[in-house]
Amino acid sequence: MIVDSNIKKFSKVSFMKRVFSYIVPILCIIGFIFLGSVIIKYNSKPEEKKRAFNTLAVLADYAVLDDIQLEVKTQGEARPQTEIDLVPEVGGKIVFVSPNFIEGGIIKKGEVLLRIEDSDYKVSVIRAQAQVAQAEQSLIREKAEGEIAKKDYLELGRGEPSPLALRLPQQAQALASLQAAEAELASANLQLKRTEVRSPFTGRVKTKNSDIGQFVSPGRTLGRIFSTSIVEVRLPLSDRDLSKMDLPVAYVAKNRASAIDVKLSAIIGGKRRYWSGKIMRTASTYDTQTRALFAIAEVVDPYGLGASENGYPLAPGLFVDAEIAGKVYQEVIVLPRDGLRPDNEVYIVNNKGKTDIRKVDVLDSDSERAVLLGGVDEGELVVLSPMERSRVSMTLRALDVNNPDNILVDPPKPDWMKKLEANKEDKSKETKSKKKNKKKS
């Protein structure tokens, strides 16, 4: 039995050896074939590929030649030209207050705003009148006595009477007393008149500090009023603003007709309102904090004829924007403001999509336009889209800023791309011809 089992094991081992002797060569052959195909594949020349022809689309517009008038924009606060504290010249108790003497009240020139109790001042007038009457009586008596003395001298034949005999010194003293009494009467009448506090102009009441029954002393503030005849706006002008205008530093207008026009505006009730003013003068000194020169603009009758549309007045305290017409320049380059880059640079794109960086001489710029004295020629295409300076070397496709569907510059394809497309087209034709030959065969 042991011999039979050994024989079986030996036969099994020999069978396995024969199997491996056949399988291993086959596997080696398959491996060599696979390895060879891989080597052949990687040794073949790859298809030549180029990077895609990428272009950057930007908005652009043409630089134009135009005649322009510069404009200075600034801001200021409206204030009345005349504003005063209302004070009494005499003391006493207030017995009358005008119904118009309230904050915001409208007052007329000569209107009685307050009246102080005048009983004591009327007594002073009567006393002064009595003193005048006494002085007049004394002067009449001295003159009469002088006439009598003159007649006596003539009748007695004593010659020419002396001034003392004619009582001339006494008459002069009586005349002086009369003049002093008349002055006292005029002063008493003036004090009585001053018990009525009147408005010196037509205007409005800003503040009110007193009322009926209150005792006031001379010089005490009763309130504050301002005139509505003229409202001023102080407009700060920098040196750059002055360079845009024909405005001397020490400017005073000869008359209102020849003064420089200024358009004032402010938002009231959700809408922008406009007023017309005139620059009548400039401040005598520069402001030490802002280093600006202030121009004073005036609006006449801001609550009447000078009001804006729909009757909106230019009220004091209102903060307004101002637009002042400046110098006129002819045939200067104008382009959209977005075309002006930092450091006064402008990107110009040619008909091949290449960009050129230009340094320009800027005359003026605002939120809408830039005015140039040089650096760009008329008709050149200016890039308006935001673009980093590092991307200037890219090829650009320029689109019309007014109509982006309109392509102003479509750059041509480079030579390598044209050659690659030609090769692809030749291969495509060759492939098609082979297919046709196969079908025919």
Identify whether 315 is part of a domain.
yes
Q: Kindly state whether residues 306 and 248 are assigned to the same domain.
A: yes
Q: Kindly state whether residues 246 and 324 are assigned to the same domain.
A: yes
Q: Strand pairing of 396-400 and 56-62? A: parallel
Residue in the structure block whose two tokens are 């009548």 = 280
53-67, 187-201, 230-244, range with the lowest pLDDT: 53-67
Q: Kindly state whether residues 237 and 305 are assigned to the same domain.
A: yes
Q: Is the pLDDT of residue 7 over 60?
A: no
Q: Is the pLDDT of residue 201 over 90?
A: yes
Residue 157, classified by CB atoms within 10 Å of its CB into exposed (0-12), middle (13-18) or buried (19+), is exposed
- Percentage with pLDDT > 90 across the chain: 48
Long-range contacts of 315-319 (CB under 8 A, 24+ apart): 315/78, 316/78, 316/79, 316/80, 316/83, 316/226, 316/231, 317/77, 317/78, 317/79, 318/77, 318/78, 318/266, 318/268, 319/75, 319/76, 319/77, 319/78, 319/266
DSSP H or E stretch at residue 125: helix 119-156
Q: What domain count does the chain have?
A: 5
Q: Kindly state whether residues 234 and 325 are assigned to the same domain.
A: yes
Identify whether 206 is part of a domain.
no
Identify whether 216 is part of a domain.
no
Q: What is the pTM of this model?
A: 0.66
pLDDT band at 413 (very low <50, low <70, confident <90, very high): low
Q: Kindly state whether residues 236 and 325 are assigned to the same domain.
A: yes
pLDDT band at 43 (very low <50, low <70, confident <90, very high): low
93-107, 257-271, 320-334, 404-418, range with the lowest pLDDT: 404-418
Region 45-61 average pLDDT: 66
Q: How many CA atoms lie within 13 A of 70 on its CB side?
A: 19
Give the whole-angstrom CA distance, residue 377 versus residue 364. Answer: 17
CB proximity list for 426: less than 8 A, separation 6 or greater: none
Name the more confident of 194 and 392.
194
- What string of H, E and C letters represents the secondary structure of 379-393? CCEEECCCCCHHHCC
Region 391-415 average pLDDT: 83
pLDDT on residue 143:
81
pLDDT in tens, 161-171: 667 766 778 88
Region 328-356 average pLDDT: 90
User: If you average pLDDT over every residue of the chain, what do you get?
Assistant: 84
Q: Kindly state whether residues 248 and 321 are assigned to the same domain.
A: yes
Identify whether 62 is part of a domain.
no
Identify whether 273 is part of a domain.
yes
pLDDT on residue 107:
94
Q: Are 174 and 182 in contact (CB under 8 A)?
A: no
Q: Is the pLDDT of residue 45 over 60?
A: no
Identify whether 38 is part of a domain.
yes
Q: Strand pairing of 106-107 and 293-300? A: unpaired
Nearest CA-CA partner of 92 in 278, 222, 286: 222
Listed residues 264, 297, 329: the one ending a domain: 329
Give the whole-angstrom CA distance, residue 317 versus residue 364. Answer: 31
Q: Kindly state whether residues 252 and 233 are assigned to the same domain.
A: yes
Name the amino acid, one letter, at 256: R
Identify whether 402 is part of a domain.
yes
Nearest CA-CA partner of 58 in 341, 274, 286: 341
Region 308-333 average pLDDT: 91
pLDDT on residue 3:
43
Give the whole-angstrom CA distance, residue 92 versus residue 116. Answer: 6
Q: Is the pLDDT of residue 81 over 80?
A: yes
**How many Cβ atoms sit within 10 Å of the Cβ of residue 268?**
15
- Quote the tokens at residue 27: 């596997």
Give the whole-angstrom CA distance, residue 46 versus residue 59. Answer: 40
pLDDT band at 296 (very low <50, low <70, confident <90, very high): very high
10-19, 22-31, 98-107, 395-404, range with the lowest pLDDT: 10-19
Name the more confident of 311 and 429.
311
Q: Kindly state whether residues 268 and 306 are assigned to the same domain.
A: yes
Q: Kindly state whether residues 402 and 419 are assigned to the same domain.
A: no
- CATH number assigned to the domain comprising residue 272: 2.40.30
pLDDT in tens, 131-156: 999 988 888 887 887 777 777 676 66
Residue 7, classified by CB atoms within 10 Å of its CB into exposed (0-12), middle (13-18) or buried (19+), is exposed
Identify whether 60 is part of a domain.
no
Residue-range definition of the domain harbouring residue 14:
1-44
Region 172-198 average pLDDT: 91
Nearest CA-CA partner of 313 in 201, 229, 205: 229
Q: Kindly state whether residues 266 and 307 are assigned to the same domain.
A: yes
Q: Kindly state whether residues 183 and 244 are assigned to the same domain.
A: no
DSSP H or E stretch at residue 145: helix 119-156
Q: Kindly state whether residues 401 and 429 are assigned to the same domain.
A: no
pLDDT in tens, 82-93: 999 999 999 999
pLDDT band at 398 (very low <50, low <70, confident <90, very high): confident
